[in-house]
Amino acid sequence: MGVEICVEGLTKSFGHQVIWQDVSLTLPAGEVSVMLGPSGTGKSVFLKTLVGLLKPDRGSVRIAGRDITKLREHELYEVRKLFGVLFQDGALFGSMNLYDNIAFPLREHTRKSESEIRRIVLEKMDMVGLIGSELKLPGEISGGMRKRAGLARALVLDPEIILFDEPDSGLDPVRVAYLNQLIVDLNAQIDATFLIVTHDIASARQVPDNIGLLFRRELVMFGPREELLTSDEPVVRQFLNGRMQGPIGMAEEKDAAQVEQELAQLGNGTQTPGSQALTPRLLPGPGILRPPRWDAIAEREAELRRRKAVADL
């Protein structure tokens, strides 16, 4: 099962430029969370800070009871074993075939035999639908297949936390839909804690248990998806509805008077921001789930906790 991540008062800057400040949230164990925000709001920086690749100026990140911001390098190395990361481009080695790319973390970080490595690699390739493509090079396959290969590599060390940095970038809508279903299916199967950075509104509406939004150097909201999808917060409404009217501008934030005028005009329209039906969350498909685990997965603890959180809103 995944582990909980507790972030308190996190602040990060580069020189005099503040990326975000006083970010506090809890990523619930075993749930899928999405982090949204306009370009340049530091979503990828947030991911790198969670895994300890960047040090924050202030604040704490508690994982399995340990504040990773205060760990020495060798201690941090141990905590990082809890993580799997899917980078935007898959980050595959172009000169290695898919099998060797996926086997790479096992050969680097474990002393497993080649027969054991083969069993694990083929298992993970089967999970993401890549059996039969072991000998193909990254340059010989589609972008969607590269993403799935990168995901298989992120899974080989059986992580309890998986970070996705814009997994839908460069994919057409059909491949994005397949990838979204795969993410939901994998979460149901391995029950790890997932955090996804994305710009894709459809994905944000369908995939996660929880949604967060970064804007103006702060975390505007974080909570159950139902709470954000029905929120009256102007920047949340604007982003999730993909509208020009609201605080987010083309190059920078708009001034308050312009925002107030736009929102007033929007409020006078025939469709109010909260009038859209709540998008159903994607459910695990029958393809990837193997009996007899289905009954246990269908009522996983993370899903029960999420329902209780929504009921308490």
Domains of the chain, by residue range, sit at 5-311
* Mean pLDDT over the full length of the chain: 86
**Overall average pLDDT of the 71-87 stretch:** 91
pLDDT confidence of residue 279 = 82
How far are the Cα atoms of 124, 125, 176, 226 from residue 286, in angstroms, in the given order?
17, 18, 19, 25
Task: Just give the CATH number of 5-311.
Answer: 3.40.50.300
CA distance 63 to 6: 7
The 17-27 sheet, strands edge to edge = 17-27, 5-14, 58-63, 66-67
Residue 234: pLDDT above 70?
yes
Model confidence pLDDT, tens digit, residues 34-70: 999 888 889 999 999 999 999 999 999 999 889 999 9
pTM: 0.86
Q: Judging by beta carbons within 10 Å of its beta carbon (0-12, 13-18, 19+), is residue 201 exposed, middle or buried?
A: middle
Model confidence pLDDT, tens digit, residues 253-301: 555 555 455 556 555 544 444 445 678 888 888 655 444 444 444 455 6
Number of residues assigned to the chain: 313
- Locate the DSSP E strands across the chain: 5-14, 17-27, 32-36, 58-63, 66-67, 83-86, 161-165, 193-197, 210-215, 218-224
Model confidence pLDDT, tens digit, residues 202-211: 999 999 999 9
pLDDT, greater one: 289 or 193: 193
**Overall average pLDDT of the 146-157 stretch:** 94
**Overall average pLDDT of the 121-135 stretch:** 95
The answer for 237, left when phi > 0, alpha when psi is -120 to 50, beta otherwise, is: alpha
